Structure 1
Amino acid sequence: MNIEVSTANMKFLECFSSETRVRIIELLREQSRNIKGLSEALGIQPPIVTRHIQMLEEAGIIRSELVPATRGMQKLCILQLGEATLNFKRPEETHVPGCHRTVVPVGQYADYQVSPPCGLVSGAKRIGMCDDPRYFGDPERMNARMLWFARGYVEYRIPNYLVRGERPCMLEITTEICSDAPCSTSETPSDITFTVNGRELGTWTCPGEFASPHGKFTPHWWTKTQYGRLKTVRVDGSGTFIDGVRTSGMTIEGLDIRPGAELRLRIASLDTARHSGGVSLFGSGFGNYDQDIEVNLWYDHHNNAETGS
């Protein structure tokens, strides 16, 4: 994110004038927390924490989700912004990277290997029979708005629109996801692993599946898993991060992204996973976020002299 230093962006800039708000960012960088947890870590009262959280949310630095708790629901605070660049010069004097954006529906995977329990649903019905992996190859899978599997993977081929003179500098992948479990308990954790071009980026451990409350965009006829967590995987020149937390040393250069060569994104529940709770993927029209898998490939411009071509 590029932020121009101006009075128009005071809401963002003022977030860093408070030591408490910077400390909140530090705490959320370690892990997502609820208001009570932040209050205890900071040693200040929850109402004061809430005011700071509202300010950080308005600036787009963090986001909040309502998630199941022991008693009812709790507000979980999540660090959303991975990085920001402050532009002190006028926009025409500042180099801003370009970006190729691609949106991929969850049913448009190019390869798969899944084990039951598994299945797919469109916005109106189940696709094929539940727990039968053969239907992952059915042409109607293209209409899927949600899918789940216990073990295995789905792999997407992401178009790469880089041209000569464009050098990748950051890759961001955002999707709504949780454990597989239409028939299991909400306490089932799952290690979900992301790879691109065969390089492992990192693993996120989902605490479980979320069967209630009803997903904001989930059709009313669907009574199983309702929503997931919105996760962002970012790869840049310094490493790989999931929601701002470093998961590996894999850099954008290590992904070997070249003009014209598609990206292979794999989302998997590995046989070797410590927590094997499976995967549920949500697309537009399902879950709490009305979106499909979003892929942003940021790039810098470079000339022929830099490449020796």
Structure 2
Amino acid sequence: MKNKNSFIKNYLHKNPQTKYVAPAMLVLIILTIIPSIFLYIISMTNYQLGWDFSRAKFVGFENFIRLFSGRDPDFWHSVKISLIFTFLSTSIQLILGYLIALLLNFKEFKLKGLVIGIMIIPLAITPTIAGQMWKLMFNSEYGLINYFLNLFFGIKITWLSADMAFWSILIVDIWQFTPFITLMLYSGLRTVPREPYESAKIDGANSIQSFFYITVPMMKNLTILALLLRMADALKLFDTAFVLTQGGPGRATEFLSLHVYRMVNAQNGLIGRGAAVAIVLLLLVTTISNALLKLQRREN
């Protein structure tokens, strides 16, 4: 026992940072690692909602085989629309974010405080409340958007129909999270030194050339970080889609997170199968995150 205590004391003496990191590591283990291990265990069983765990049987990779063999065709539909949504939302948000951040970075622009204040509003609203608000505005009969479309153009759009529901959710996501990327990029632009731009101007470079040859390379790490955070979040989209469409009409907006929800709540509580889909979602997020981090390290 003394030897064990002596070993711990010597270790802490040689690694004093351990006692500061230990509480955070303990929280990480309790809130992340243990639930993740339990999720993997559940995915290997036929466990259903309401069962005593002793009734569950080990089925190995059967739940995963069922997904990838095509016996659950809705799964591949969910994967497809989740990836398309993630690509579109992050691409549009990045482009808009750069445009607004560049505008805010101009010394001549006098409304920075007002614009930043307005942009913080969508970020302060929870996705559930944002979904409810936009659901009212998307209403085909008395919604605010159709009112103005009818007033100025004489048209009405059924925003939450099978053809338009996906794009409606995309609009809400862009509205709510473009400010996040904008503020990240704007904070980065404020740290970029002016000297390279002045030198480029002397050499005859125009604004577009300066942006692509100076701004983009110097902002690359921050851009990758913004993409990483938003892509991981977009892949896990649930709140907004659930409030607006609940995955419908039909399966038109059943993203992976909603597919998990439906399996667990609407299909006899198939917890084991839902856990398998959740792991696939986790692996997608991890793969994209690792790819972006690898790109960032390579650039460094």
TM-score using structure 2 length: 0.27
The structure showing larger relative contact order (alpha-carbon pairs under 8 Å, at least 6 residues apart) is 2
Which is greater in Rg? 2
TM-score using structure 1 length: 0.26
Whose helix proportion is higher, 1 or 2? 2
Whose strand proportion is higher, 1 or 2? 1
